[in-house]
């Protein structure tokens, strides 16, 4: 009998690697699954002595994320205090991936489940998310164990086969610790963030941040930076003095070091200066010592050490370095990069790891030499019982890895250094006496470079000094008194901050990089030269304000206690419910006290930031008081009425100006014209945008509502959007002449119509009998009319009329590029900001970007890449609307027409 075995990895690339490594002779088939992101690889093999049909698939990270029920997500209606006792729900992390249905479908008929998730707490948590969907649909395995857990640290075939032969069970305690931390972070973080965001953004206009956030890890991380800033500001430089002696021997000038180092009183320094100058004194050699010394080889590399080295040596931010390391792991070049262990287990194959590097062009010969001489035993460190230290698995060149090669190079050289010998050198120290004052000079000569021969930095160099004999007298060339000042400590570097976070238990090896990135993105710190973190005024004001109210809100001790409690849960020494209840009860009391005393924080903000009125510029008139509304252009963009004391949310990207001094017929507010950065412009009413009179409130800001009278007049509906999966409507931009265009009210779809040939275009009240689109009444310019016989007027449908259709071009808006405002911050590969999709975008622009992506995928999938599929992919290729409809399959054309008919029926209702 053949049994079915479902094996689930954490990422699609790992699933394919598993199939490659475990299938006999690498023979397996691949098919699509329910999830569009995850393939299913199938092969026949043996499972504990039984013939088995294996199905290897994956998830794409967490299947679920924790959140509040929808009724708790309205900031205006839900008091933040209630969030501490609010229920939580697990929702699909990405509904488009359809992961629960994917596992439910693939588990049918399977007798066994083998979980190949990452071997850390988060991986254990994902194990139980997969089990929740798979187990109810699996066949019975009798009395045998149904669920197995693979423990592995490398994606090398030999390690995967070893893990398959030594399967264990998932760890519920580790999974519970992740759930405990997630619930605590969600509730207390949201409560504080919602309260202070509404409070401070309602009073100040130049905070320059969308969220005034609080996080139990993020805030202590910021506290370290602010504490160092306070030390720098409080520092008072102090003068100190040194006696500087210069000798000359063998034509070489030698600077001696004063045994006293320095003194802080100038009269005392002058006294010693006179002493060494008395009677034209000479330097007498009192002692010459030589001693063999050594510099110890480095310890094996854990996650924090890797991130610190990457920041210091490569200039990579922690998050960027972590992403690179994960990519190298997924591609099979490194062992698992999230580990707290910095010592190798006794059974680790160090010989094999070095042998894998013998063919590398840069360090292959060094690796061969190591194998010939014999490996040195790595230094002892701390074994946290999770994963071995970060180690290269196979050799790779720069051409294979691209920019990630820098990190791979650093890690591989460090690994080879850990199994190399110590650096040995001979240290020589010569002591001098000048009128009973002691001075000295030191030199060194390398005997064996050891590990420094392979590391790019830290190679030992000789310091050559002449030979001296005891009792020898040497002429003094120069005597001087040096005057210096003590220096303030520098701002914390990313490496310094990581060390402090590790020392105080803030975050885990997997999350530290994220916390540092968060305080940069929240505008609490700025990344300066040398990757040093300088707190902004907002960051300093927040930390000082917390300290005035409750110092425990920012110091690391409280978070460290939370992490300790979560560790107790992970180790099975505490139950999840009492731990969560205790921490939430503690922070609930702190929250109540903070709300009562927030005026103390407000006093600090008043001295630093401008009020909404002072930070804004007058733009349009309020419909209630007829006074001017001020628009605040700093994040988050909003309008403010001083008289009514009301704030109106506005679109977050784009230019705003008064729209023809026209007023909204519903509330008498003057209309504002918004031209955003994605190629669309439209009028809005501040009151209607902030408090929509039509449609669901959760749709606020995502699109303009066609039921509103200003859009019926100034953006009349023409037809349904032609982009795939977009429910929007294409509307005539009455302000776009003479280069007329039609825009979707949701996505980025745009139609350019008639180029500059049309003088006037009007959307009529008539509809096309074929497709239900609104008929357009067009008056063409004389001499440019495309109509036969020189006619200048026609009323017709853009879709069905051949002349109109030939003059209609489908295109996207301007290139949609978003760059983060900072310089570096550990994101992306760019020099000044990083890269990434949808970074720094408003919800409105994200909705439009999704529509654009869907359109690009649709056109590329069905029409061979027609249309503008991605930014920066070369010149935009324009697609005529008629060509698009002609190339669609007949059923799809009918669907488009059906959609247009439905829109017509809906609009008539």
Catalytic residues: 336
CB-count exposure of residue 735 (10 Å: 0-12, 13-18, 19+): middle
Bridge partners of 752, per DSSP, are: 741, 809
Inter-residue contact 844 to 824 (CB < 8 Å): no
Q: Note if the bond before 18 is cis, omega within 30 degrees.
A: no
3-class secondary-structure state, position 131: helix
Residue 2 CB neighbour total at 10 angstroms: 10
Strands of the sheet containing 147-149, edge to edge, are 29-32, 39-47, 50-58, 3-9, 112-116, 147-149
Longest CA pairwise span in the chain (Å):
117
DSSP state of 313: I
Bridge partners of 284, per DSSP, are: 433, 473
d(CA 556, CA 185): 15
Q: Is the dihedral of CA 824, 826, 827, 830 positive or negative?
A: positive
Inter-residue contact 631 to 657 (CB < 8 Å): no
Residue 280 CB neighbour total at 10 angstroms: 7
d(CA 651, CA 210): 12
Residue keyed to tokens 């019982």? 385
Helix 494-504 vs helix 218-234: crossing angle, to nearest 10 = 120
DSSP state of 421: P
| Chain centre distance of CA 639 | 30
d(CA 202, CA 636): 11
Determine how β-strand 681-684 pairs with β-strand 717-720. unpaired
d(CA 138, CA 382): 41
Taking the CA of residue 513 as centre, how many other CA atoms within 13 Å lie in the half-sphere pointing to its CB? 26
Inter-residue contact 181 to 66 (CB < 8 Å): no
Residue keyed to tokens 């690697």? 17
DSSP state of 520: H
d(CA 442, CA 644): 76
d(CA 236, CA 228): 14
3-class secondary-structure state, position 718: strand
3-class secondary-structure state, position 433: strand
d(CA 238, CA 381): 40
3-class secondary-structure state, position 846: helix
Residue keyed to tokens 């049918």? 108
Inter-residue contact 202 to 647 (CB < 8 Å): yes
Residue keyed to tokens 């992506």? 853
Q: Which residues contact 250 (CB under 8 A, 6 or more apart)?
A: 466
d(CA 796, CA 803): 9
Taking the CA of residue 330 as centre, how many other CA atoms within 13 Å lie in the half-sphere pointing to its CB? 17
d(CA 49, CA 549): 65
Bridge partners of 443, per DSSP, are: 428
Tokens of residue 395, six digits: 């050799």
Q: Which residues contact 833 (CB under 8 A, 6 or more apart)?
A: 819, 820, 821, 822, 823, 824, 825, 827
Inter-residue contact 706 to 729 (CB < 8 Å): yes
């Amino acid at each position: 009998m053949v049994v079915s075995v479902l094996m689930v990895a954490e990422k699609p690339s790992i699933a394919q690697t598993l199939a490659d490594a475990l299938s006999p002779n690498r023979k397996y088939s691949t098919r699509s699954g329910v999830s569009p992101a995850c393939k299913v690889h199938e092969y026949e093999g043996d499972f504990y002595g039984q013939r088995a049909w294996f199905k290897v698939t994956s998830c794409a990270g967490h299947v679920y994320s924790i959140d509040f029920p929808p009724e708790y997500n309205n900031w205006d209606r839900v008091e933040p205090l209630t969030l501490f006792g609010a229920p939580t729900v697990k929702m699909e992390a990405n509904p488009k991936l359809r992961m629960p249905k994917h596992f439910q479908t693939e588990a049918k008929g399977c007798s066994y489940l083998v979980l190949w998730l990452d071997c850390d707490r988060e991986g254990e948590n994902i194990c139980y998310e997969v089990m929740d969907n798979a187990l109810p649909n699996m066949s019975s395995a009798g009395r045998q164990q149904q669920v197995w857990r693979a423990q592995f640290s490398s994606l090398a075939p030999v390690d995967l086969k070893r893990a398959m032969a030594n399967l264990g069970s998932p760890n519920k305690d580790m999974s519970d610790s992740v759930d405990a931390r997630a619930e605590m972070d969600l509730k207390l973080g949201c409560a504080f963030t919602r309260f202070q965001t509404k409070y401070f953004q309602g009073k100040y206009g130049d905070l320059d941040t969308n969220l005034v956030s609080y996080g139990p890890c993020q805030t202590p991380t910021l506290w370290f930076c602010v504490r160092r800033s306070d030390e720098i500001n409080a520092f008072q430089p102090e003068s100190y003095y040194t006696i500087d002696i210069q000798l000359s021997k063998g034509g070489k000038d030698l600077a001696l070091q004063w045994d006293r180092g320095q003194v802080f009183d100038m009269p005392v320094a002058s006294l010693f200066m006179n002493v060494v100058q008395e009677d034209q004194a000479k330097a007498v050699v009192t002692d010459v010592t030589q001693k063999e010394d050594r510099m110890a080889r480095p310890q094996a590399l854990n996650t924090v050490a890797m991130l610190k080295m990457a920041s210091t040596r490569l200039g990579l931010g922690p998050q960027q370095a972590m992403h690179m390391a994960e990519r190298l792991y997924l591609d099979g070049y490194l062992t698992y990069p999230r580990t707290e262990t910095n010592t190798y287990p006794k059974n680790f194959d160090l010989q094999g790891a070095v042998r894998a590097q013998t063919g590398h062009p840069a360090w292959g010969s060094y690796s061969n030499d190591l194998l010939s001489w014999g490996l040195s035993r790595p230094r002892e460190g701390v074994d946290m019982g999770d994963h071995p230290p970060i180690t290269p698995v196979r050799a790779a060149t720069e051409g294979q890895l691209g920019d990630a090669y820098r990190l791979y190079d650093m890690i591989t050289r460090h690994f080879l250094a850990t199994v190399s010998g110590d650096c040995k050198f001979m240290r020589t120290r010569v002591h001098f006496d000048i009128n009973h004052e002691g001075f000295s000079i030191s030199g060194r000569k390398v005997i064996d470079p050891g590990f420094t021969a392979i590391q790019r930095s830290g190679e030992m160099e000789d310091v050559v000094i002449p030979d001296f004999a005891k009792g020898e007298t040497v002429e003094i060339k120069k005597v001087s008194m040096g005057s210096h000042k003590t220096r303030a400590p520098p701002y914390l570097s990313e490496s310094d901050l990581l060390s402090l976070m590790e020392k105080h238990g803030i975050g885990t090896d997997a999350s530290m990089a994220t916390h540092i990135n968060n305080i940069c993105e929240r505008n609490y710190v700025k990344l300066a030269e040398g990757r040093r973190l300088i707190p902004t005024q907002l960051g300093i004001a927040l930390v000082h304000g917390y300290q005035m109210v409750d110092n425990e809100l920012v110091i690391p001790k409280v978070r460290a206690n939370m992490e300790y409690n979560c560790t107790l849960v992970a180790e099975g020494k505490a139950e999840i419910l009492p731990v969560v209840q205790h921490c939430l009860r503690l922070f609930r009391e702190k929250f109540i006290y903070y709300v009562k005393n927030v005026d103390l924080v407000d006093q600090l903000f008043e001295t630093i930031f401008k009020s909404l009125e002072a930070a804004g510029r007058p733009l349009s008139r309020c419909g209630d008081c007829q006074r001017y509304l001020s628009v605040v252009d700093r994040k988050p963009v909003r309008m403010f009425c001083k008289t009514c004391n009301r704030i109106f949310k506005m679109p977050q990207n784009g230019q705003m100006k008064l729209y023809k001094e026209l007023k909204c017929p519903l509330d008498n507010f003057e209309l504002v014209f918004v031209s955003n950065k994605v190629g669309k412009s439209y009028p809005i009413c501040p009151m209607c945008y902030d408090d929509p009179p039509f449609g669901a409130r959760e749709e606020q800001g995502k699109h303009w509502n066609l039921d509103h009278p200003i859009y019926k007049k100034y953006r009349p509906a023409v037809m349904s959007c032609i982009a795939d999966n977009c429910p929007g409507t294409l509307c005539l931009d009455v302000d776009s002449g003479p280069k007329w265009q039609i825009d979707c009210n949701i996505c980025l779809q745009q139609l350019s119509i008639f180029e500059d040939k049309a003088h006037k275009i009007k959307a009529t009240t008539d509809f096309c009998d074929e497709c239900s689109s609104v008929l357009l009444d067009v008056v063409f310019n004389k001499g440019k009319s495309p109509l036969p016989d020189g006619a200048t007027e026609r009323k017709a449908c853009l879709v069905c009329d051949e002349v109109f259709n030939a003059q209609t071009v489908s295109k996207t808006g301007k290139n949609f590029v978003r760059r983060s405002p900072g310089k570096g911050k550990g994101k992306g590969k760019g020099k000044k900001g990083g890269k990434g999709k949808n970074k720094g975008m408003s919800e409105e622009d994200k909705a439009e970007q999704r529509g654009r992506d869907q359109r690009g995928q649709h056109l590329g999938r069905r029409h061979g890449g027609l249309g503008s599929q991605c930014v920066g992919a070369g010149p935009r290729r324009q697609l005529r609307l008629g060509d698009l409809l002609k190339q669609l399959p007949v059923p799809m054309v009918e669907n488009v027409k059906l959609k247009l008919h439905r829109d017509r029926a809906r609009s008539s209702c």
